[in-house]
Amino acid sequence: DAGITQSPRYKITETGRQVTLMCHQTWSHSYMFWYRQDLGHGLRLIYYSAAADITDKGEVPDGYVVSRSKTENFPLTLESATRSQTSVYFCASSETAFQRRTDTQYFGPGTRLTVL
Amino acid sequence: QKEVEQDPGPLSVPEGAIVSLNCTYSNSAFQYFMWYRQYSRKGPELLMYTYSSGNKEDGRFTAQVDKSSKYISLFIRDSQPSDSATYLCAKAKLNSGGSNYKLTFGKGTLLTVNP
């Protein structure tokens, strides 16, 4: 059972380049999320999705684009990377919207992105 | 004011100590509260989950929620070196129809338990 995976795990790119971070989950969870984690800011929500073709902006969406054509995939694209987007990016998924007390978000291992 | 405020730490304690980690929140619309544990260079994992005021125990861990004062706490008894990690408090907010939700996290507290 692979769970939730992210690729690449590490990425170095240059300012102005387009970068896509991949997220894949094998549970067929409806909900998926993208966060960035930075020192001094903690985890901040970038985008979230309740189902295929349904996405919403989170706290820090500027400069990012998401799509969700298939339930299991939720790629995050940096259209024109900037140094301020250097961060650790986490993808997460959950089965329902806390409709059961056991619901939780499961996190991937993260992608460390450096923008030079 | 950030919706979830967490004591930043870092916190260093000897093995066997009782650890208290705390958060406050500012929006009463939030209903569900969680504690996540994050080891270095790993993704967060759920530790405790509660949706009401009061205490919830799970082994050496106790989560406490006081909705009247908007305060959430995590207590770790008999702390172990393996408890060394960053602890994140979080709260979940449903939309009005209950069809979507998002989590808001505190900044995290780095805990080190020394042998």
Write out pLDDT tens, residues A70-109: 999 999 999 999 999 999 999 999 887 666 656 778 999 9
pLDDT attached to residue A24: 97
Locate B86 and state its tokens.
């960053």
pLDDT attached to residue B92: 83
Judging contacts by C-beta atoms under 8 Å, the chain A residues touching residue B99 are 50, 97
Domain count, chain A: 1
**Local mean pLDDT, 10-residue blocks, chain B (115 residues):** 82 96 80 90 89 85 89 95 95 75 89 96
Indicate the residue of A40, A104, A108 with minimum beta-carbon distance to B46.
A104
Chain A contact for B97 (CB, 8 A cutoff): no
pLDDT attached to residue A2: 66
- A105 domain residue, yes or no: no
pLDDT attached to residue B51: 76
- A48 domain residue, yes or no: yes
Nearest alpha carbon to residue B105 among B58, B18, B43, B40: B43
Indicate the residue of A45, A101, A102 with minimum beta-carbon distance to B102.
A45
Contact A91, A108 (CB under 8 A): yes
Q: What are phi and psi of A25, to 5 degrees?
A: -125, 145
- A106 domain residue, yes or no: no
Indicate the residue of B41, B46, B105 with minimum beta-carbon distance to A42.
B105
Judging contacts by C-beta atoms under 8 Å, the chain B residues touching residue A110 are 41-43
Judging contacts by C-beta atoms under 8 Å, the chain A residues touching residue B44 are 43, 90, 107
- A30 domain residue, yes or no: yes
Write the CATH number for A13.
Answer: 2.60.40.10
> B51 vs chain A: nearest CA distance in angstroms?
8
Rounded alpha-carbon distances, angstroms, from residue A49 to A29, A45, B69: 11, 11, 32
Long-range contacts of A96-104 (CB under 8 A, 24+ apart): A96/A30, A96/A31, A97/A31, A97/A50, A97/B94, A97/B98, A97/B99, A97/B100, A97/B101, A98/B31, A98/B32, A98/B51, A98/B92, A98/B94, A98/B101, A99/B98, A101/B49, A101/B51, A102/B49, A104/B34, A104/B46, A104/B49
Distance (Å, whole) CA B75 – CA B13: 13
- A61 domain residue, yes or no: yes
- A113 domain residue, yes or no: no
Smallest CA–CA distance from A5 into chain B, residue: B43
Architecture of domain B4-114: Sandwich (2.60)
Flag if B42 and A108 touch (Cβ within 8 Å).
Answer: no
> A70 vs chain B: nearest CA distance in angstroms?
18
In this structure, which amino acid lies at residue B67? K
- A116 domain residue, yes or no: no
Quick: pLDDT tens for A29-81: 999 999 999 988 889 999 999 888 889 899 899 999 999 999 999 999 999 99
Distance (Å, whole) CA B44 – CA A89: 12
Rg of chain A's alpha carbons, rounded to an integer? 14
Q: Domain range for residue A38?
A: 4-100
Q: What are phi and psi of A61, to 5 degrees?
A: -85, -15
Cβ-based neighbour number of residue B66 at 10 Å = 12
**Domain edges within chain B:** 4-114
- A24 domain residue, yes or no: yes
User: Torsion angle, CA of B22/B28/B34/B36, rounded to 10 degrees?
Assistant: -60
